[in-house]
């Protein structure tokens, strides 16, 4: 039913993923903050936070809702923690997306998923709402970039193994009633040759056989210093998308989620993925300044030159976990209001 529902709403709004966590669950305005609760209390706390996050989206009028990633500490490692073959006690320092050093776990043997990771959380979200729901998973290439591999010793092979595991999880999420499964692949913005050689192939392996909608989110990251410093090195025009769009356009993925507002991405690059549905980032997550509805509308109107109206999904540039609750709420409201302006313009034509 939700697939029909999605098709009936023009310019359905959603977020790229994360929203702020309540202060009793994790330290606010802090990325990847540790949990403040444990055991049973943590399990209950995550569910309560999910309810609040859902309500925050609903009150703002967001059409495609998510768990706001209240069940995850980190968008990649929380998933990997549930897999076997990865030792979190053996840590090595590696460079993440050529940008910053991080201490990461080691792949010590064949990777597998002993049991579903987010499926119970997704069922819980499904039970709270009849709106279309989106669930985010890390993409295979971004997963391998967050690990030290002492077993496969091949980025491509490890990514392929993760793609098979992600496909198992995705199929379970689909069965739990998830309407859109999104793979977060910021690594697609960095390793262009690998993306074209095997990254997109791995992504297609991860979505193999799915009947629900599938999305890939490719952004310039949270507004953390390592990312804003990196952005300063990218020059006046960010043409990273140009390297991967042609092959993505040919791929089986349904939706491409992109950073557009306040970024230096030339929007005409969207022409390269004409025919795909596009989640257009119309909210900047790297600033506390709340966009006006008119600013959101302006970004959407620009995108409409390259994206057909029935394929445009207004969205945020990336997750909003590091923002304050008030700022995030203001931005959600602006997103919904900006989409409403453009929706009315389209309907009046
Ligand atoms: Zn992002």
In order along its 349 residues, the chain shows pLDDT tens digits of 445 455 578 999 999 999 999 999 999 988 888 999 999 999 999 999 999 999 999 999 999 999 999 999 988 999 999 999 999 999 999 888 777 888 899 999 999 999 999 999 999 999 999 999 999 999 999 999 989 999 999 999 999 999 999 999 999 999 999 999 999 999 999 999 999 999 999 999 999 999 999 999 998 877 778 888 888 888 888 888 899 999 999 999 999 999 999 888 899 999 999 999 999 999 999 999 999 999 999 999 999 999 999 999 999 999 999 999 999 999 999 999 999 999 999 999 8
Task: State the architecture of 2-348 in CATH terms.
Answer: Alpha-Beta Barrel (3.20)
- 231 Cα: distance to centroid of ligand 1 (angstroms): 14
- 82 Cα: distance to centroid of ligand 1 (angstroms): 22
- 349 Cα: distance to centroid of ligand 1 (angstroms): 33
Closest CA to 178 of 187, 188, 169, 190: 169
- 40 Cα: distance to centroid of ligand 1 (angstroms): 30
* Tokens linked to 227: 């990312």
Task: Spell out the domain ranges in the chain.
Answer: 2-348
According to DSSP, the β-strands at 100-112 and 84-96 are antiparallel
Measure CA 6 to chain center: 19
Are residues 307 and 257 in contact, defined by beta-carbon separation less than 8 angstroms?
Answer: no
The continuous run of DSSP H or E covering 47 comes out as: helix 39-60
Distance CA 217, CA 188 (A): 9
Q: What is the pLDDT of residue 6?
A: 55
- 267 Cα: distance to centroid of ligand 1 (angstroms): 17
What DSSP state is assigned to residue 271? G
Please give, one letter per residue, the 3-state secondary structure of 273-335.
HCCCEEEEECCCCCCCCCCCHHHHHHHHHHHCCCCCHHHEEEECCCCCCCCCHHHHHHHHHHH
Q: What is the pLDDT of residue 5?
A: 52
Asked whether the whole model's pTM tops 0.85, one would answer yes
- 139 Cα: distance to centroid of ligand 1 (angstroms): 12
Closest CA to 276 of 244, 234, 230: 244
Name the residues around ion ligand 1, CB cutoff 5 A. Answer: 219, 318
């Amino acid at each position: 039913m939700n697939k029909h529902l999605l098709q009936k709403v023009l310019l359905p709004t959603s977020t790229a993923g994360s929203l702020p966590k309540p202060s009793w669950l994790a330290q606010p305005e802090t990325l990847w903050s540790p949990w403040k609760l444990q055991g049973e209390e943590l399990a209950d706390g995550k569910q309560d936070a999910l309810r609040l996050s859902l309500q925050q989206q609903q009150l703002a009028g967001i059409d495609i809702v998510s768990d706001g990633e209240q069940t995850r500490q980190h968008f990649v490692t929380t998933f990997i923690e549930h897999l076997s073959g990865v030792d979190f006690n053996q840590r090595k320092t590696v460079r993440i997306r050529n940008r910053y050093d991080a201490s990461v776990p080691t792949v010590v043997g064949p990777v597998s998923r002993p049991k579903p990771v987010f499926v119970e959380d997704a069922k819980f979200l499904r039970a709270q709402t009849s709106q279309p729901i989106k669930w985010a998973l890390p993409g295979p290439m971004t997963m391998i970039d967050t690990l030290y591999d002492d077993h496969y010793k091949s980025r491509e092979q490890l990514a392929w193994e993760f793609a098979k595991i992600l496909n198992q999880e995705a199929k379970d999420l689909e069965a739990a009633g998830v309407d859109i499964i999104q793979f977060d692949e910021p690594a697609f913005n960095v390793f262009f040759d690998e993306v074209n050689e095997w990254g997109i192939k791995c992504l297609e392996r991860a979505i193999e056989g799915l009947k629900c909608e599938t999305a890939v989110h490719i952004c310039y990251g949270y507004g953390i210093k390592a990312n804003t410093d990196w952005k300063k090195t990218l020059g006046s025009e960010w043409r990273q998308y140009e390297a991967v769009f042609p092959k993505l356009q040919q791929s089986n993925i349904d939706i491409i989620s992109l950073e557009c507002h306040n970024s230096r991405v030339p929007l005409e690059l969207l022409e390269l993925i004409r025919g795909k549905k596009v989640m257009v980032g119309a909210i900047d997550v790297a600033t506390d300044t709340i966009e006006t509805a008119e600013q959101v509308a302006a970004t959407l109107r620009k995108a409409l030159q390259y994206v057909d109206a029935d394929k445009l999904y207004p969205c945020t540039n990336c997750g909003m976990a590091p923002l304050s609750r008030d700022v995030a709420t203001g931005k959600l409201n602006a997103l919904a209001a900006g989409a409403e302006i453009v929706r009315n313009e389209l309907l009046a034509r």
